[in-house]
Amino acid sequence: MRGLMMDTPLLVSSLIKHAAAQHAQSEIVSRTVEGPIHRYGYAQAHRRAQQLANALTALGIVKGDRIATIAWNGYRHYEIYFATSGMAAICHTINPRLHPDQIVYLLNHAADRYLFIDLTFVPLVELVAGRAAKLEGIVVMCDRAHMPDSKLDNLICYEELMDGAQDSYEWPIFDENTASSLCYTSGTTGNPKGVLYSHRATVLHSFAAALPAGLCLSESEAILPVVPMFHVNAWGIPYAATMTGAKQVMPGPGLDGASLHEILDAENVTFAAGVPTIWLGLLNHMREHGKRLDRLKYVVIGGSAVPASMIEAFENEFDIEVRQGWGMTEMSPIGSINTLKPWMQDLPPSQRMAIQIKQGRPPFGVEMMIESESGEALPHDGKAQGELLVRGPWVCSGYFGIDDAGVHRDGWFATNDVATIDEQGYMQIVDRTKDMIKSGGEWISSIDLENFAMSHPDVQQAAVIGVPHPKWDERPLLLVVPVPGKTPDKADIFNFLSDKVAKWWLPDDMVIVESFPIGGTGKVLKKELREEYKDYALPQ
């Protein structure tokens, strides 16, 4: 027997319509590329999104068309998110840190009809636009006064485009499984693949993200996504914040410690989200200048493993709670968030930390299992490690334009991450399959070694890679970026590690480096490090 409830589709447009009606004055504050801070409420944001939908219609955009963006986090980017999806077109966000040839590949693969860019990216787009076959025009996200001199001949001014359009638009109602946005994986471990989000997935993901054990969003909170809108839709924050009416603070291009501190402080941000490398910059800045952020209650850190030293720094020095998150572009991205169960709050600090460095528990909507190499389900005992498989309504069921990428098994998505799951449900990433070090037929987790190395007071960042070895296949090499002014001593570091890991896990050597190669999404590029050190002569 069918239930007698309305079959109202879950659409992205319903989020902003609701925010405009219920949270009209709650603000979206943006640091613009042009300079000044821009602020408006959800009601005005909604009117501008409607205006843009009319403008796009006038350009001939119809349902299913792809509109690309290369832009920072800001209010115009937000308007594009909602205008495109709302009219059943698809917002395709492109990461400007990719190589220009990759950007050309993405524009062509997605067959984008228009490209919206921030002023910063005019020189980049000059390099690529001529090679994007389907591109009909490029819209620069500024007013007439700021329009750049450019050799591109098909530039459109965003504000002029808007001026010619009405600010009321009836959002169409359609099937909730329609595509809403497109984001390609960053290609850290392979070629970029397009993940095509749906309206239904986006709305359900927003519910999960907003929960207290997630990003804890409501109209009393102010959230700053440091994570860019060109990377997995800023972890879905623009949608989840809109659903709840939370104030949104968009940092624009200012992602260094000083700029972040300034806007977090000035806008009374209570919640911020980003990758570990970003938070290192903020912590260094606050320590050097004796600054604090007393209104900031939580930082969500994810994208790569969060070292214990970073959790301790936020919590002990600055009284800011860290919530580690794990996810993937293919998961919209939230797969797990680490919050402690009530009884864990009173555990001694070392026991609490042993839980906090795990990647956390899945929210309702995500199911997880771990599987052995021979395909058996492994126990959730915190010890057995195997490939992590996930499923749920915001996990991808395939890639855009690829028939079968071979990443699904019996309805589960294979993450390529190796993990454990403990009796309490906490998942811990042991490593990415490709980053694990195979020594004498056994596996060494680079994440574990890095985590321990980073708890040494002289080590700011650590990366452990496998270097070919004639007898053992591979042996670990520890690369460290020192804390400014310190010179980590190899014997001292190895001594520090020796009571934390098994003897055969101890790296064979240590190299001090100034910095690590960082990829487009703020992660250390281990692939490049492995290439650089592939002929490294380990001491015998």
Whole-angstrom Cα distance, residue 92 to residue 96?
12
Cβ nearer to ligand ADP, comparing 247 with 323: 323
Cβ nearer to ligand ADP, comparing 291 with 523: 523
Shortest gap between Cβ of 339 and ligand ADP (angstroms)?
14
Rounded to 10°, the helix 12-22/199-210 angle is 50
3-class DSSP assignment, residue 51: helix
Shortest gap between Cβ of 76 and ligand ADP (angstroms)?
24
3-class DSSP assignment, residue 2: coil
* Catalytic (active site) residue 394: no
Whole-angstrom Cα distance, residue 459 to residue 357?
18
* Catalytic (active site) residue 185: yes
Number of H helices, E strands in the chain: 17, 25
Cβ nearer to ligand ADP, comparing 325 with 363: 325
Shortest gap between Cβ of 335 and ligand ADP (angstroms)?
8
Cβ nearer to ligand ADP, comparing 189 with 351: 189
Binding site for ligand ADP (CB under 6 A): 185-189, 302-306, 324-329, 359, 415, 417, 429, 432, 521, 523
Shortest gap between Cβ of 426 and ligand ADP (angstroms)?
12
Catalytic residue among 136, 262, 312, 438: 438
Catalytic residue among 34, 443, 486, 527: 443
Cβ nearer to ligand ADP, comparing 327 with 488: 327
Whole-angstrom Cα distance, residue 187 to residue 333?
15
Shortest gap between Cβ of 519 and ligand ADP (angstroms)?
7
Which phi-psi region, left, alpha or beta, contains residue 350 (left: φ > 0; alpha: ψ -120 to 50)?
A: alpha
- Per-state percent for the chain, helix, strand, coil, to nearest 5: 35, 25, 40
* Catalytic (active site) residue 330: yes
Q: How many CB atoms lie within 10 A of CB 536?
A: 15
Shortest gap between Cβ of 398 and ligand ADP (angstroms)?
16
* Catalytic (active site) residue 438: yes
Rounded to 10°, the helix 237-244/75-86 angle is 80
Cβ nearer to ligand ADP, comparing 142 with 447: 447
Cβ nearer to ligand ADP, comparing 10 with 183: 183
User: 388 CB contacts (<8 Å, ≥6 apart)?
Assistant: 368, 369, 370, 415, 417, 418, 419, 427, 429
Q: Are the C-beta atoms of residues 262 and 236 closer than 8 Å to each other?
A: no
146-to-70, 150, 176 alpha-carbon distances in Å:
17, 12, 38
Identify any residues that bridge with 469 across adjacent strands, giving them in sequence order: 473
**Number of residues assigned to the chain:** 540
Q: Give the closest residue to 440 by CA, choosing from 480, 476, 493.
A: 476
Catalytic residue among 27, 221, 267, 330: 330
Shortest gap between Cβ of 416 and ligand ADP (angstroms)?
6
Which residues are the active-site residues?
185, 330, 438, 443
